[in-house]
Amino acid sequence: MNKGLIVAICVIVIVAAVVIMMSRGGSGAGPGNTVTEQQLTLMDKSTLETETLTLAEWQSRGKDSEGYYKNAAGEYTMVESMNCPDCGAEIPKLLLPPEPIGVGGEEDYPPGMEPDSAVDPFEEWEETTARMKAEYVCPQCGKHPYGPN
């Protein structure tokens, strides 16, 4: 076959595929349930009561900078739960600060921290999270679910 004919056929196939996709709106068979329609059960860290809503409903209630969602009373106390490894009770999960992004340039440091600062953001993060884990106790049995008891 002639190279020009092969190129022309390829162009026609590509154009036809684009036209078909555009006429369908660029979508296939839509998903049955979107992510925001899925049920999510959260626990109130103050009362230990659970509540199940869709992700969209939780998002409409709002989330604070630490990651807690609003409860029905409007307080930021709702969080995912976990099972205590010692007593097995369902307890609020400890929300830890996010790990700092890689170190290399000025843009990698948390706001307000200079690249030549004497404080290493990873060391500070590790110390903070270790302290938070050590201080957290199971509200049911009083033991430390994140470390030695």
pLDDT attached to residue 74:
94
Segment 47-80, tens digit of pLDDT: 999 999 999 999 999 999 899 999 999 999 999 9
**What percentage of the chain exceeds 70 in pLDDT?**
78
Q: Is residue 119 part of a domain?
A: yes
Domain limits at 54? 35-79
Average pLDDT over residues 118-126: 78
Tell whether 64 and 105 lie within a shared domain.
no
Cα–Cα distances (Å) from 98 to 18, 88, 89, 101, 118, in that order, read 42, 27, 26, 9, 21
Query: Residue 64 and residue 62: Cα distance in Å, rounded?
Result: 7
9 versus 79: which is more confidently predicted? 79
How many structural domains does the chain have?
Answer: 2
Q: With the CA atoms of 109, 110, 112 and 118 taken in that order, what torsion angle do they form, in degrees rounded to the nearest 10?
A: -50
Tell whether 131 and 102 lie within a shared domain.
yes
